[in-house]
Amino acid sequence: MVSENNTLNEKYVKNYGELTSLSIEEQKPFVEYAGIDKYPVLSGEKININIFSKYDGDYSALEGYEDIVYKVFIKLDNEEYEEITKGYTRPIPVIEEFSLHYDKRLEAGLYEILIFIKKANSIGQYNSKYGDYDNYYSFKFNCYNSFNREYKISEDLPGNVVNNGLAVEDEDYIYYVNRIGDIYGASSDYLYKIKKNKAEDKLYNLNTKLLEDRVWNLNLVDNWIYYSNWINPFKRGIFKVDINGNHGKLIVNEPVRNMVVHGNWIYYIRMTNYYSIEKNNIYKISIDGSCRIQLTQDAVEDMVVLGNWIYYINELDHYKIYRIKIDGSNREKICDDETLFMAVYDKSIYYSNYEDGCKLYEISVDGKGKEKLVDDKVSFINAYENEIYYVNESDNGSLYQLNKNSRKKVKITNMKGSNITILKDWIYYGGNFFKI
């Protein structure tokens, strides 16, 4: 046993990596993510601890790095740390996920895992009572006697996910990503809120900045806003703040896309640091960040979660639409059309068919009844009830509304934009709100 008589020196802060110009020899390894293999953990169960690491420096570099080693500890509540590894592990290739089994049955309480990492066959740059190391990482998880927690999640449309989830709402406010003309990189993408004027069925002119962080993929859960951050390659992850923009917390430190909270899990595309797209797979992580599970081996462009299914564009099969169950089972192809954009609503998938000039098509979620809806060249798509909203590239990127029953088209705005976020009474598009 190792007694925790004092904390680590403050200068040895947890390092999530940084973009540097250091040579490979000068760079340090760091743990990007560590977690356990199940959620929730119940009293009497055993766990595996999974660890994934990288080096500082070139964000896409794969070769030339030394192997790494770990030293891992565990403790329950205020008890002493127990060293699981009995010294450092065997050398492990960087970017290879390492799994460590803890062969003791857990009892109810709050556990903490402490991980030290350094280059194999080298002396670490820092020292503590736990020995030498280059970086360290810690996380906590709960073990329960029983678990029946249910989260109150905003009922966002599935199509908002593939449109980067730029707005969510509650009874009184809309929380949104403040964009300027919908131009990537031209706006700060800070988190704002604007109050609803329910008496006059409109929005007040005054908005409030909540967070100076570059945010996407907004989800409202129990008065918390979950979001993805993409400020730079080493500071991309899933975070949460309360609805006033306070008490921010990191859930997972890795770049993500199409993030959505569903039940007790967060589903997302994990964007890797490689030039190859083959690692851009779908993952789910428990809402507390303690358990991460890979769901696909396919490289994924866009994804939507609807009910017990995940619908996604499979890059490895020439951008065809697939689906899997939310537990990763029952993988199947929906259609053979090459797809650039899609949205899913109710029992239908709406998509731009690249093989037919990016025209708008509809197909059922089980792959039946394919039908062309309009001859317009379409990019971003969203849908609600009998209305389909799309960016019409045949009309200079204007926003259109199509009634799927009557096939009547209405131009909403000439403004050229991209992501379409649908709320109860509003569409957020091009940095502006439009009444629907």
User: What does the DSSP assignment read for 325-368?
Assistant: ETTS---EEEE-S-EEEEEEETTEEEEEEGGGTTEEEEEETTS-
Average pLDDT, the chain: 89
Residue 18 pLDDT greater than 50, yes or no: no
Q: How many CB atoms lie within 10 A of CB 150?
A: 8
pLDDT in tens, 212-252: 988 999 999 999 999 998 765 556 799 999 999 999 999 99
Q: Give the pLDDT score at 8.
A: 45
Q: How many CB atoms lie within 10 A of CB 56?
A: 20
Residue 375 pLDDT greater than 80, yes or no: yes
Residue 342 pLDDT greater than 90, yes or no: yes
Q: Which domains, from first to last, does the chain contain?
A: 24-144 (2.60.40.2550), 158-435 (2.120.10.30)
Region 37-52: mean pLDDT is 97
> CA of 358: how far to CAs of 213, 296, 322, 390, 419, in Å?
34, 27, 18, 12, 17
Q: How far apart are CA 59 and CA 289, in angstroms?
A: 23
Higher-scoring residue by pLDDT: 96, 347: 347
Residue 149 pLDDT greater than 90, yes or no: no
Q: Classify the C-alpha dihedral 78-80-81-82 as positive or negative.
A: negative
Residue 26 pLDDT greater than 80, yes or no: no
Could you tell me what percent of the chain has a pLDDT over 90?
74
Residue 61 pLDDT greater than 60, yes or no: no
Region 336-365: mean pLDDT is 97
Q: Give the pLDDT score at 9.
A: 39
Lowest model confidence (mean pLDDT) among 137-151, 190-204, 376-390: 190-204
Q: Give the pLDDT score at 181.
A: 52
Q: Give the pLDDT score at 232.
A: 59
Give the pLDDT band (50/70/90) at residue 24.
low
Residue 10 pLDDT greater than 50, yes or no: no
Q: Give the pLDDT score at 138.
A: 95
Region 54-79: mean pLDDT is 82
Assess contact for 304 and 311: CB atoms under 8 A.
yes
Residue 4 pLDDT greater than 50, yes or no: no
Q: Give the pLDDT score at 101.
A: 98
Assess contact for 47 and 102: CB atoms under 8 A.
yes
Three-state SS at 407:
coil
Q: Give the pLDDT score at 21.
A: 53
- Would you give the DSSP letter of residue 94? T
Q: How far apart are CA 265 and CA 305, in angstroms?
A: 11
Region 294-307: mean pLDDT is 94
Q: Give the pLDDT score at 12.
A: 34
pLDDT in tens, 151-183: 777 767 899 999 999 999 999 999 999 876 554
